[in-house]
Amino acid sequence: MTARDWTADRESVFDRDAFTCRHCETVGDDATTIRLHPVGDVPREGTVHESALVTVCADCLDMLETPSAATAVTAETLFHRVRETTRLQGASISDVATFASLSTSLPATLESARDDGTEADSDDAMSDYRCTRRDVLLSMAVVDAHLEELAVLESAVDSDVRPSLEAFTETAATLQSGLIETVELSETVVAGLERCHGCFDSLEGKTCSTCGLEARETADWRHTSGSIAFDQLFGTINETLQDASETTDTLTDRTTALAERLTA
């Protein structure tokens, strides 16, 4: 990654995340053991807004940013990596479910906070949203890094193991894209509230003036009157998440098939 100008936000991000790796929860004491990592789509130019930065430890940053070279691996190591990917995807599903549930509750939460004049409640909901979104994006980025590593290994494994490994990575990729779709639809709820789905500031136009993120498209989710069809959007979010979760059964079968192949 090229050097980016995010110095302006560094200190507040370290404080916000309490110098703790948001993936493995390692606690560091300074900016050499704990680093910043951007999540989600960030603008190509300029400062990365703090809403898109998370703290990670040096080991996790290395795992996220350095693709491994294809080397011969033992059956044991390969299976360990497959199992780890499955475990991380399981964790991602529950992170996505939390994010989806939080996003779909936002319209009602903000409305009742507005009606009651309790600004603190809506501030809490917004900061909860930003934090949950960063965590889910990081969790998916970690899975992506593991899937990339397995894709590289495909060419290095014995040809009798390769089909089982390919079947596994294909299913894992299907699950991952279902989860990405669920996250994007959940972010669309926020765009429907005329807020930026990254930093949650009010949106005017297509690009957020605070963090530079492009707004999610809401045209498909509007009634003819122009208002947002939240119920329809929520229904689709639940279905998409449900479909993705059901893929885990296939993933388990493929993990078992691969294990049998490796120990044959």
Q: Is 60 in the site for Zn ion (CB under 5 A)?
A: yes
Q: How many helices (H) and strands (E) does the chain have?
A: 6, 2
Rounded to the nearest 10 degrees, how much is the dihedral formed by the CA atoms of 104, 107, 113, 114?
170
Which is closer to Zn ion, CB of 53 or CB of 199? 199
Place of tokens 């060419």: 155
Select from 50-58, 103-111, 112-120, 178-186 the region that touches Zn ion (CB under 5 A): 50-58
Place of tokens 């929860």: 25
CA 214 – CA 237 distance, rounded (Å): 21
Enumerate residues 213-242 that contact Zn ion by CB under 5 A: 213
Measured at the CA of 149, the angle between CA 179 and CA 239, to 5 degrees, comes to 10
CA 67 – CA 37 distance, rounded (Å): 16
Which is closer to Zn ion, CB of 27 or CB of 108? 27
For the window 77-106, what string marks contact with Zn ion as x by the rule CB under 5 A?
A: ------------------------------
Q: Which amino acid is at 178?
A: G
Select from 2-10, 20-28, 40-48, 170-178 the region that touches Zn ion (CB under 5 A): 20-28
Which is closer to Zn ion, CB of 41 or CB of 160? 41
Enumerate residues 176-215 that contact Zn ion by CB under 5 A: 196, 198-199, 208, 210-211, 213
For the window 22-41, what string marks contact with Zn ion as x by the rule CB under 5 A?
A: -xx-x---------------
- 8 A C-beta contact, residue 96 and residue 183: yes
- 8 A C-beta contact, residue 42 and residue 68: no
Select from 53-61, 110-118, 215-223, 248-256 the region that touches Zn ion (CB under 5 A): 53-61
Which is closer to Zn ion, CB of 210 or CB of 250? 210
CA 211 – CA 187 distance, rounded (Å): 15
Binding site for Zn ion (CB under 5 A): 21, 23-24, 26, 57, 60, 196, 198-199, 208, 210-211, 213
